[in-house]
Amino acid sequence: MKVAMIEKGYILDRRILQEMETLVAMGMEVVLFAEEGPCKDPISTRDSATYEIKRFPTVREHPMVTSCNAMFARLKKRGFPNTVALMIAAIRYPEYGYLKVSQMRLKVWKRFLALSVLKFFRAIFGDKSLYFDSRYWEQQVEASIIKYAPNVIHVHDLPSLGIGVELKNKIGGKIKLVYDAHEIYPFQPFIEGRLKSELIKQEKKLIRDADWLVVINDEQADFMRKEYQYNFKYSVLTNATTYPRKFDKNTNYNLIREKLTIPEDSPIVIFQGGINKGRKIHLLMEGIQSSRVKPHLVLLSWSAEIEEFKSLASTLGIKDQVHFLPPVPWDEVLFWANSADIGFMPYHPDDINTRISSPNKMYEFMLAGTPMIAHEGLVNVKKVLVGEGFGMVWDLSEGVDYGKAIDALWSDKNKYREIKNRIVNNREKFTWESLSKDFSKMYSQLRDESIEAKVAQ
């Protein structure tokens, strides 16, 4: 059976790659159709001969594209912050700059201000010979998938669902459409107002063309069924991970202390992923400052706001206790998580997605054998940390609460060792192999239906 996956993005979630590896192991042929990014994907890099990834540019080649990106790179090299460098380059090349900024995830007021400025420069200095086809990427993907002739189209998140529905209708026949909802997309905290309303209407309409949904947990399915008034079929596939090929479960790795100068008696707190104030990184840093045990915070991260957080560390007087390291490929994360003493999930349950989330980090910390701390309002995280005894939940309201939580976990060495041993002895049931069975069952059913349809012809 042939599966065409679609991801409208270029940095690939490890979930997508693990799904492809699972399907290939089941004897299926899988091709992922994704965006061609401005640089090498730093997260999803993993050599594999088992599946194919086809990437397509989002805009047609034009000298202005090259010039804008080159100017952006020069400004960054001179020390300009990412957002400042991007706006200067965008004003210099307003046609492409407008498109580039419009695709960024920004707060509503920042997006409005930036696009208003660019609209002014676009009207005066815009290159009238350059009009981007907003569906250029979709057109290439559609043509390639029609030629590929898959049995199943599997789309990731709402931005890819529209093209999936179009392809299903164009190809017709017995082709199946799987909608992989990594989250409740319109309800992300940075999506507000009219855009949120439009996306809710879009998702409510389009999911009716999907034959199956893949969701993170039952709570997500319940919310979406109620919100969209549609009793869809679904398979649960949480954000579990798998052990890297060279990861030794009996080894305590020490990558962080080998790379950084950290006292042996100071606990290492780790957070991996994009950082911003929405994720409460500023409160975590305040907690590092107030903690009695003098912890060191390691951030395996990328973000336009890194410079802002470096400045905050200096202001708080913890510059030597906060370490910014570049992101690593997803199948190297466990080595770094294992090298830390505490895995921190600093989020507040301010929105439905966060409240019911089953974060990637939680599964990475579990397989790494690293005790965790999280907010007590994170429903599914609490089930694991409290129900399984894998960590501690806390009322993380203010920065000082983050420090108290670190002190409570680290100061009681016997309790800490008990938690660590409990994770190590019980983590196998939280691996990708254990938690992807429902997903595999769904695809076995789709394969059987495909065979039956072929026989009927």
Amino acid at 12: L
Confidence (pLDDT) at 130 = 46
Residue ranges, the chain, pLDDT below 50: 47, 128-132
Confidence (pLDDT) at 182 = 96
For residue 5, the number of C-alpha atoms closer than 13 Å in the C-beta half-sphere is: 28
Q: Is 135 exposed, middle or buried (0-12, 13-18, 19+ CB in 10 A)?
A: exposed
DSSP state of 439: H
Output the DSSP codes for 219-277. HHHHHHHHHHT----EEE--S-----TT--TT----HHHHHS---TTSPEEEEES---G
Confidence (pLDDT) at 80 = 86
Confidence (pLDDT) at 62 = 60
Token code pair at residue 131: 């009009």
Confidence (pLDDT) at 129 = 45
Confidence (pLDDT) at 72 = 80
Do the domains 255-431 and 2-59+133-237+436-456 match in fold?
Answer: yes
Domain 2-59+133-237+436-456 class, CATH top level = alpha beta
- Fold for domain 255-431? Rossmann fold (3.40.50)
Biggest CA–CA distance in the chain, Å, is: 72
Q: Count of CB atoms within 10 A of residue 407's CB?
A: 17
As a whole number of angstroms, the distance between CA 379 and CA 352 comes to 10
Q: Count of CB atoms within 10 A of residue 399's CB?
A: 18
As a whole number of angstroms, the distance between CA 428 and CA 60 comes to 47
User: What is the domain partition of the chain in residue ranges?
Assistant: 2-59+133-237+436-456, 63-125, 255-431
Confidence (pLDDT) at 76 = 84
Confidence (pLDDT) at 50 = 73
Question: CB–CB of 122/98 below 8 Å?
Answer: yes
